[in-house]
């Protein structure tokens, strides 16, 4: 690719499936012609002024061995192609993009194709686009990624260029969670988009759906008011801002348009529909509505003509061929039924038209019938309004189009309700001139004040400010996830492991010390009227109380076999029942005489520590220990560099926590208190599992909670103390929704 020198300012990198060119392969080579359209006309000057690169596919399949064709540079704007083979186009574009995402996001669930091969191709091609974008610009360049074909690009780009500011805009609807999660790879698409700093949608409804999916599918904490999703210790800005058109350019075309000559009789009221051939556009339903109008309002026969301009699209796809046949037959049937004396109710055009010709059609149309079954925005509605230089005309608009959120002065209809659309047509035909002009004046003012140039400026400004949020600390992340849940009850039952949770792991259990910060945190929690604190440990109860030394807490020792606290004193019967067997195990373990090993006999259990046993000897030592435990018919569990020997009864930290909750709050404790358990050890996993669904749990581990039953993770005891202080201060109060 021929490179041109970029201006010294930080460039903008635009990434879209297609480059902004019409491309044709001719005998003399590949010919490029700049595509028309609002987005191109708005972005090209920005890219040229600040310097930039447009990354995309040319639209022609790459032939093996052929040098990829690249459009020539245009001032400060360069182009970078992502070559795609015929197989890649079929799988990535025709397959997953248009066979899976397109119907799903437009709620045509029965048309969705679920194929692992096309998903993999989609992800691979998205990675290629990301590589092309990463190779351009500077470390802090802004990359603006467009639309549903490239939803995984932000994630791949974030890995390749972590410092890039990334914006993503989706130009189609984003579906509700119950529809979106039909897709087996819904979470992967969410992770792809959430790697951006700013994710943009046309209307608030789509942004709300996206944030709900982030919360429901990925467990993200969201702030709907601020439009923020907290994902992987970052704040992702989620905003809505509807795209528009180049109003000045469209108005200029309308002003210069030549009158259209037709063979229709004079005095005809013109109705217009303009669509690409697609099942989402509601073309057949629209024709049925015209037929219903002529059935129910015979006075309009011979006095109205509906022109349907249908632009060819995906003509080689079987279902689109079938759709065209259906529309062809429908038009023929309606015309055959109602045509009379040189008048036909439907004028059917199946071809592409130039922007100038389309502007002329808009200008001379009396009623625009824009009734897609689902549409992210629909710019036809805005183009029609911009072309109404005379301030007259009626726009009938589907409530399923994003444009209906803005263009409220249109006549809004449900496109599936044929009778309602026919009634709207009758209303438009009968509407007084002053009402038509009042509606159109308001529509024109809104479209003119918010054209595509304003939209581009908004996105660039929003993207520039996004990504500068303070990264969330691990404590902030957990706090945000917990606050709404905790606020659902008046009281919190806080269960805390000791070693590795309240204190760092030390070489010898006797060396563990609760520092002053930790002690003050527990004192604050103990004094809080809404917090009930229990320290749960494998340590013997007396040792645990001595190590913590805070009055008013509940102490759960020996993995739950001993419990002491306000209003409760409990010793499990197995302590006495298996005392002799535990004494015998402790004696046999001592007699092993392993250097560096430590035997700790507690009231209800025995711990065998191997932290100081040479690493190469530990496996053999542990096998001998297990044999002794089996000989005495006792149970074992594994801690950090230790084996815990227990009575052979079904009792552990998790059951002890449930016992304590029931004793303190009654059988219906789940409606009275929010239990939160924080621990670091494999023995704490029993508590994590016991509270699943009824409480929340936090694993203290530097490498996160991926292999744990815990809900969340904190890296170290000091972060646990921060969380305790926040809970003790009642920081979650009032957060309930």
Question: Which candidate, 124, 453, 81, 388, places its Cα nearest to that of 257?
Answer: 388
Q: Are 397 and 314 in contact (CB under 8 A)?
A: no
512 versus 656: the higher-pLDDT residue is 656
Which is catalytic among the residues 197, 221, 497, 532?
Answer: 497
State the residue for tokens 């969340």: 712
pLDDT category, 1, cuts 50, 70, 90?
Answer: very low
- Residue 497 a catalytic site member: yes
Q: What is the pLDDT of residues 331-389, one digit of tens each?
A: 999 999 999 988 999 999 999 898 999 999 999 999 999 999 999 999 999 999 999 99
Lowest mean pLDDT among 124-128, 149-153, 318-322: 318-322
Q: What pairs with residue 273 in β-bridges?
A: 308
Q: Are 198 and 189 in contact (CB under 8 A)?
A: no
* pTM of this structure: 0.69
State the residue for tokens 């972005």: 43
20 versus 496: the higher-pLDDT residue is 496
- Determine the 3-state secondary structure of 441 from DSSP: helix
Give ∠ CA 14-16-21 in degrees, rounded to 5. 95
DSSP state letters, 326-350: HHHHHHHHHHHHH-BTTB-SEEEEE
Please say if the pLDDT value at position 2 is more than 50: no
Q: Are 224 and 212 in contact (CB under 8 A)?
A: no
Most confident of 1-15, 276-290, 629-643: 276-290
Q: Count CB-CB contacts under 10 A for residue 155.
A: 23
DSSP state letters, 267-314: TPEEEEEEEES-GGG-HHHHHHHHHHHHHH-GGGTTTEEEEEEEE---
Can you give the pLDDT at residue 391?
Answer: 95
Kindly report each contact of residues 156-160 with a partner whose C-beta sits within 8 Å and lies 24 or more positions away, as own/partner. 156/126, 156/127, 156/129, 156/130, 156/131, 156/192, 157/130, 157/133, 157/195, 158/195, 160/130, 160/131, 160/134
Q: What is the arithmetic mean of pLDDT over 166-191?
A: 96
Percent of the chain with pLDDT over 70: 94
Lowest mean pLDDT among 218-227, 269-278, 451-460, 667-676: 218-227
Mean pLDDT score of the chain: 89
Give ∠ CA 563-569-574 in degrees, rounded to 5. 60
- Distance CA(695)–CA(132), nearest Å, equals 46
The token pair at 463 is 């993207």
Q: What is the pLDDT of residues 605-627, one digit of tens each?
A: 888 988 888 888 888 888 898 99
Q: What is the arithmetic mean of pLDDT over 174-201?
A: 96
The token pair at 282 is 């509601």
Map out the domains of the chain with their CATH numbers: 12-82+133-240 (3.40.50.2000), 252-449 (3.40.50.2000), 474-572+651-728 (3.40.50.1000), 576-646 (3.30.70.1020)
- Distance CA(321)–CA(566), nearest Å, equals 77
pLDDT category, 737, cuts 50, 70, 90?
Answer: very low
- Determine the 3-state secondary structure of 552 from DSSP: coil
Q: Are 193 and 199 in contact (CB under 8 A)?
A: yes
Q: Are 497 and 537 in contact (CB under 8 A)?
A: yes
Can you give the pLDDT at residue 65?
Answer: 65
Can you give the pLDDT at residue 262?
Answer: 62
């Amino acid at each position: 690719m021929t490179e041109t020198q970029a201006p010294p300012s930080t460039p903008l990198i635009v990434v879209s499936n297609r480059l902004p060119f019409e491309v044709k392969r001719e005998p003399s080579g590949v010919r490029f012609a700049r595509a028309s359209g609002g987005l191109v006309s708005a972005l090209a000057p920005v890219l040229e002024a600040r310097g930039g690169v447009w990354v995309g596919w040319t639209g022609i399949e790459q032939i093996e061995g052929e040098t990829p064709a690249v459009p020539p540079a245009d001032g400060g704007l360069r182009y970078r192609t992502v070559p795609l083979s015929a197989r890649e186009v079929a799988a990535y574009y025709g397959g997953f993009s248009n066979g899976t995402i397109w119907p799903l996001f437009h709620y045509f669930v029965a048309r969705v194709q679920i194929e692992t091969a096309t998903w993999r191709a989609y992800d691979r091609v998205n990675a290629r686009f990301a590589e092309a974008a990463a190779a351009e610009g500077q470390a802090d360049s802004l990359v603006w990624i467009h639309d549903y074909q490239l939803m995984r690009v932000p994630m791949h780009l974030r890995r390749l260029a972590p410092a890039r500011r990334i914006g993503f805009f989706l130009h189609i609807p984003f579906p509700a969670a119950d529809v979106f999660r039909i897709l087996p790879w819904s979470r992967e698409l969410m992770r792809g988009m959430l790697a951006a700093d700013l994710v943009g949608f046309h209307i608030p409804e789509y942004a709300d759906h996206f944030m709900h999916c982030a919360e429901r599918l990925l467990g993200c904490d969201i702030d709907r008011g601020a439009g923020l999703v907290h994902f992987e210790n970052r704040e992702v800005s989620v905003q809505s801002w509807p795209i528009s058109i180049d109003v000045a350019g469209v108005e200029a075309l309308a002003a210069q348009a030549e009158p259209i000559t037709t063979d229709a009789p004079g005095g005809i009221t013109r109705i217009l529909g303009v669509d690409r051939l697609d099942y989402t556009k509601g073309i057949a339903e629209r024709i049925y509505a015209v037929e219903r109008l002529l059935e129910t309002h015979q006075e309009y026969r011979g006095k109205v003509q509906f022109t349907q301009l249908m632009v060819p699209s995906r003509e080689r796809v079987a279902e689109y061929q079938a759709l065209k046949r259906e529309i062809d037959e429908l038009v023929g049937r309606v015309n055959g039924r109602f045509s009379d004396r040189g008048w036909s109710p439907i004028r059917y055009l199946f071809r592409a038209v130039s922007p100038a010709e389309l502007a002329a059609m808009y200008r001379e149309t009396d009623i625009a019938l824009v009734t897609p079954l689902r549409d992210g925005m629909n710019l036809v509605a805005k183009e029609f309004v911009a072309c109404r230089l005379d301030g007259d005309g009626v726009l009938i608009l589907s409530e399923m189009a994003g444009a209906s959120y803005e263009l409220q002065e249109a006549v809004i209809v449900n496109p599936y309700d044929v009778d309602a659309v026919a009634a709207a047509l009758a209303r438009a035909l009968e509407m007084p001139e002053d009402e038509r002009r009042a509606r159109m004046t308001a529509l024109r003012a809104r479209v003119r004040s918010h054209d595509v140039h304003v939209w581009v400026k908004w996105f660039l400004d929003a993207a520039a400010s996004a990504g500068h949020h303070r990264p969330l600390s691990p404590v902030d992340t957990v706090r945000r996830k917990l606050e709404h849940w905790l606020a659902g009850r008046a009281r919190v039952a806080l269960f805390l492991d000791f070693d590795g949770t309240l204190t760092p792991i030390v070489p010898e259990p006797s060396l563990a010390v609760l520092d002053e910060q930790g002690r003050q945190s527990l004192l604050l929690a103990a004094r809080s009227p809404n917090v009930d604190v229990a320290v749960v440990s494998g340590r013997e109860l007396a040792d645990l109380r001595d190590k913590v030394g805070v009055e008013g807490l509940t102490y759960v020792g020996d993995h739950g076999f001993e419990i002491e606290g306000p209003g409760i004193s409990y010793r499990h019967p197995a302590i006495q029942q298996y005392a002799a067997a535990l004494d015998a195990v402790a004696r046999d373990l001592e007699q092993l005489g392993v250097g560096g090993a430590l035997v700790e006999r507690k009231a209800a259990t025995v711990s065998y520590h191997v932290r100081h046993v040479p690493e190469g000897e530990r496996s053999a030592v542990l096998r001998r220990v297990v044999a002794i435990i089996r000989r005495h018919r006792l149970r074992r569990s594994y801690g950090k560099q230790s084996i815990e020997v227990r009575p052979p009864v079904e009792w552990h930290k998790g059951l002890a926590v449930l016992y304590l909750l029931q004793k303190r709050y009654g059988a219906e404790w789940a409606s009275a208190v929010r239990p939160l358990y924080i621990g670091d050890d494999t023995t704490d996993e029993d508590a994590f599992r016991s509270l699943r669904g009824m409480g929340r749990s936090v694993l203290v581990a530097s490498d996160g909670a991926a292999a744990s039953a815990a809900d969340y993770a904190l890296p170290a005891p000091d972060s646990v103390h921060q969380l305790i202080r926040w809970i003790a201060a009642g920081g979650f109060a009032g957060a309930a929704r």
